[in-house]
Amino acid sequence: MEAAERDTTDEWRVAPERAPATIAELEGRIDVAIATAQAAEEAALEIGAAGLEAAEQARRAAALAEKASAAAVRAARHPAPAPGPRADGAARTATDPFEERIAAFRQRAERVIVRLQRIDAGAAPGGGPSEVVRLR
């Protein structure tokens, strides 16, 4: 090898695309990573809180369902007495609020069934009832 070839430093040069990152670039990357980690942590905390709230709502719903079930069993075992004449001779008109709600629900359900049947048959949903279905 000649002395002139041996003394060049071109082979030691690093291409700009292969140059190591500067301290400023590394600090920027670290800042982005920290911000991303903090956002992920906040999201995880929110998801956890939402999960806990959903579990609490489910617990409350289960407790209410249990109470309703117990009330239904009591009502089935001890039906309300038949309405009789009042002291002034007028007929008793008190009704069970639960029965009223069930009757209203059945009526709404029947209307929905009729609408769905009309839609299924290809009729316009706004037309008159084509058939009435009674729920038992």
* pLDDT tens-digit map of 9-27: 777 787 888 888 889 999 9
N- to C-terminal Cα distance for the chain? 105
pLDDT above 90 for 40: yes
pTM: 0.39
Under the banding of pLDDT at 50, 70 and 90, the label for residue 44 is: very high
Q: Which of 107, 110, 129, 133 is nearest to 118 (CA)?
A: 129
Q: Domain spans of the chain?
A: 16-79, 92-136
* pLDDT tens-digit map of 82-113: 665 555 545 555 677 888 888 888 888 888 88
d(CA 74, CA 119): 41
pLDDT above 70 for 3: no
- Looking at residue 48, what is its pLDDT? 92
The residues pairing with 85 across neighbouring beta strands, listed in sequence order, are: 91
